[in-house]
Amino acid sequence: MRLKDKVAIITGAGCGIGRTTALTFAREGAIVVAADINEAAGKKVVNEILEMGSTANFEPVNVADAQQVNRLVKHTVDTYGKIDILINNAGIVADAQLVKMGLAQWQQVIDVNLKGVFLCGQAVARVMKTQASGGVILNASSVVGLYGNFGQSNYVAAKAGVIGMTKTWARELGKKGIRVNAVAPGFIATEILKAVPEKVIAIMIEKTPLGRMGQPEDIANAYLFLASDEATFITGAVLSVDGGIVI
């Protein structure tokens, strides 16, 4: 119960890493606000949490829309009176090589993966600054944000930008008792891999020193540690959870 009675907003909570994080946080005592653009998926994870006997609610949100983000934050404060944790997890991909990438592909990924993190972080930080207890903001980056990746100019730019914002926010918000960190996942077995050829998956596993793909639980557990009181002296950090693939 490391997060007992903590109010946690988790964006992209309907599937993959977000879903697993929502369930993990609920098991650890958090009150989960599952935010997602996919209403069916978001409500499904909330129902799972309620069946566990924990507290949760679903909030529909497109993180790239400032009005929707502000509504999410206001509803959360109106319902629970505070926000202790924000997990900026929502993200998309639209891959193409540089010479083939259209402006729509570029903008869509930047809007969700970078602008969305900014909007959610800004709205939640304004609340956390008024709280005596401060809060925790955790941003989803990626190992590709640290090292680049073929065919992902848009995604890499967004994830690298998230790292920069994380370090900036840690500097700006630390005196208000707000910790800001990023997690940089490696090759994780989520729904997104359904579109990846098996031979590519096999190559990535071979390149990973630990000899396997990461699981959503690996990232959820990293979020759990950074959100808990066990990490009260950690801010401005980027935690790679990648099985050693970047070595």
> Closest Cα partner for 54 from 79, 76, 17, 26?
26
223 is catalytic: no
Q: Among residues 80, 147, 155, 223, which one is catalytic?
A: 155
> Closest Cα partner for 141 from 98, 203, 176, 188?
188
CA angle 175, 180, 183 (to 5 degrees): 165
Active site residues: 155
